Chains A and B, each alone.
Chain A
Amino acid sequence: MDSTASPFAQGLAVGVLRYQRCGACGLALTGQRFACTACGSVQLDWCDAVGTGTVFSVSTVHRAPTEAWRAMAPYTLVLVDLDEGPRVMAHGSPGLVIGQRVRAEPVVLAGQALVRFESA
């Protein structure tokens, strides 16, 4: 993968879920940032997540946006609050509910390296 690709995408390509942590104040950040939302520092480091967390929300997608995903529908999407703090969007195994403890597994779906959360 090209070195200018997002470190998050580079992580997924090798089966690792990554998040950013502020080198100054230590806050773990959601999303991809240039600066820390708490202290404004630009010294942010990418870290490997342990992969455990709690389901924040869940939806079963029936209407897929592309041909490749249409072949996979219905599929489950989740927002998970990682134990380290950040919230991530990912796939989930069917039947997950809000508040459930989950663990991340690397998966390739519709040709994409992704993460799917399973019941922990």
Chain B
Amino acid sequence: MAVLPHITGVGLTAFGRHDGSTAPGLMARAAQAALDDAGIARGQIDGLLCGYATTLPHLMLSTLMAEWLALRPVYAHSVQLGGATGAALLMLAGDLVRAGRCRQVLVLAGENRLSGQARDSAIQTLAQVGDADMEVPNGASVPAYYALMASRYLQATGTTEADLAELAVLMRRHAQAHPGAQLRSPLTVADVLASKPIATPLKLADCCPISDGAAAFIVSADSGPGPRVVLRGAGQAHRHQHLSAMADVLACGAAEAAQRALAEAGVTLAQIGHLGIYDSFTITLAMLLEEIGIAPRGGSAAMARAGAFGPQGALPLNLHGGLLSYGHCGVAGGMAHAVEAVLQLGGRAGPRQARPATHALVHADGGVMSSHVSLVLTREG
């Protein structure tokens, strides 16, 4: 019988400002939490997959982390895919386990993105996902790229700025139930609309914060002690790097990746009962929900208002608060959605526990909706 990749352990630090923290220090905290959660010793880890840290642009982060964490993996390297990195790491860990290459893979990322550098420096690093000759010299930045995309998407679908604000409010409401979330103060649609302009139509509250934090998973050939959560399917799509080269705001590759993951899992979208969807900006969340087919075009906000995405709704979404309110520390920011999905499927989310679900869909994008990775997680047994 084929070996299935189980997610047997998760680790997630609080996100926010961790003054004096370091990228390896934050990663170690999450890694130890994941090892403890899985109930395995560090000597059992035979695979190590790391993301990247903008505050520690090391040439061989996985080997550095293996030394720091006292691991001796037989397989290790880093992956760089922007915001889609975390989901891509899980996909690769799953494939390593399926192939028999590894039995216990530690998936790890984290950094002191907020406290470890000046805000301008973080924004300028991120802006480099744009074309160095044709886009960046215009004084563009990631929020400006997403704003240009939002401008067109709103016009094409009839989505309003108040609709986008609804998604920020939803993420804040969810974050208020999580003690590790960075932004927990109450937020209304009026607050979002009145927040300071960043790049029209996006305002400050449409944008995720910059955070310190880390996340980790154990992906295992063994089912482990807890509830069995299996990585059943995964899929990717890469259609462009730069916003200018994105042919159609209604078809950026998200649906293609999700369909591949669902097909591999043998699950239909209608069977999905829990969601972890990337939300770097409110427009990101709306576009992904709508292109994947979870919400009709222009209909994400209406579903949010109707309660569909709440803990007792039909499709609980980002119950940790998402990037918009739990926070965004780079690779680990995109991993937090999957951490929450694993806890929710396993019935381990405590006071945040949503109604039971069997299948969760996790989706992340990197760049400007440039790389897409979808995962289907299933509770078995």
Binding site for B on A (CB under 8 A): 6, 8-9, 30-32, 56-69, 72, 74-75, 77-79, 87-91, 98, 109-110, 112, 114
Contact A56 B152 (CB under 8 A): yes
Contacts of A57 in B (CB 8 A): 148-149, 151-152, 155
3 smallest A-B Cβ distances: which pairs?
A69-B139, A57-B152, A59-B147
Q: Cα distance A69–B149 when bound, in Å?
A: 21
Q: Give the number of A-B contacts (CB < 8 Å).
A: 108
Contact A89 B196 (CB under 8 A): no
Residue in chain B with minimal CB distance to A56? B152
Q: Cα distance A56–B243 when bound, in Å?
A: 12
Q: Cα distance A37–B143 when bound, in Å?
A: 28
Contact B134 A32 (CB under 8 A): yes
Contact B124 A65 (CB under 8 A): yes
Contact B134 A72 (CB under 8 A): no
Given contacts A31-B242, A32-B133, A62-B197, contact A89 B138 (CB under 8 A): yes
Contact B198 A62 (CB under 8 A): yes
List 12 A-B residue pairs with CB atoms under 8 Å apart, sorted by A's residue number. A8-B133, A31-B134, A31-B245, A32-B131, A57-B151, A63-B197, A66-B139, A77-B138, A89-B135, A89-B140, A89-B243, A112-B138
Contact A79 B139 (CB under 8 A): no
Contact A58 B148 (CB under 8 A): yes
Residue of B139, B149, B202, B242 touching A65 (CB-CB under 8 A): B139
Q: Cα distance A6–B245 when bound, in Å?
A: 17
Given contacts A65-B124, A98-B152, contact A8 B134 (CB under 8 A): yes
Contact A91 B138 (CB under 8 A): yes
Min CB distance, A55 to chain B, in Å?
9
Additional A-B contacts beyond A77-B139, A98-B151 (6; CB < 8 A): A56-B152, A58-B148, A60-B199, A65-B120, A87-B245, A89-B131
Q: B193-219: which residues lie under 8 A (CB-CB) from chain A?
A: 196-202
Contact B133 A79 (CB under 8 A): no
Q: Cα distance A112–B140 when bound, in Å?
A: 13
Contacts of A89 in B (CB 8 A): 130-131, 134-135, 138, 140, 148, 243-244
Q: Cα distance A6–B152 when bound, in Å?
A: 28
Given contacts A59-B200, A79-B148, A98-B151, contact A65 B134 (CB under 8 A): no
Q: Cα distance A87–B247 when bound, in Å?
A: 9
Q: Cα distance A59–B203 when bound, in Å?
A: 12
Q: Cα distance A9–B155 when bound, in Å?
A: 31
Contact B131 A59 (CB under 8 A): no
Min CB distance, B9 to chain A, in Å?
38
Residue of A8, A63, A98 touching B199 (CB-CB under 8 A): A63
CB of B20 closer than 8 Å to a CB of A: no
Q: B274-316: which residues lie under 8 A (CB-CB) from chain A?
A: none
Residue in chain B with minimal CB distance to A19? B134
CB of B186 closer than 8 Å to a CB of A: no
For B127-146 the 0/1 string (1 means CB < 8 A from A) is 10011011101111101100
Contacts of A72 in B (CB 8 A): 139
Contact A61 B199 (CB under 8 A): yes
Residue in chain A with minimal CB distance to B143? A63
Contacts of B199 in A (CB 8 A): 59-63, 77
Residue in chain A with minimal CB distance to B204? A63
Residue in chain B with minimal CB distance to A65? B141
Q: B205-264: which residues lie under 8 A (CB-CB) from chain A?
A: 242-245
Contacts of A67 in B (CB 8 A): 120
Residue in chain B with minimal CB distance to A18? B134
Contacts of B138 in A (CB 8 A): 77, 89-91, 112, 114
Given contacts A59-B200, A60-B199, A89-B138, contact A31 B131 (CB under 8 A): yes
Residue of A9, A56, A91 touching B133 (CB-CB under 8 A): A9
Contact A110 B131 (CB under 8 A): no
Q: B99-157: which residues lie under 8 A (CB-CB) from chain A?
A: 120, 123-124, 127, 130-131, 133-135, 137-141, 143-144, 147-152, 155
Given contacts A31-B245, A88-B134, contact A98 B144 (CB under 8 A): no
Contact A98 B155 (CB under 8 A): yes
Contact A77 B140 (CB under 8 A): yes
Contact B244 A30 (CB under 8 A): yes
Contacts of B149 in A (CB 8 A): 57
Q: Which of A57, A58, A72, A90 has the largest count of B CB atoms less than 10 A from its CB?
A: A57
Min CB distance, B135 to chain A, in Å?
5
Contact A30 B120 (CB under 8 A): no
Min CB distance, B126 to chain A, in Å?
9
Contact B123 A65 (CB under 8 A): yes
Contact B144 A61 (CB under 8 A): yes
Residue in chain B with minimal CB distance to A58? B151
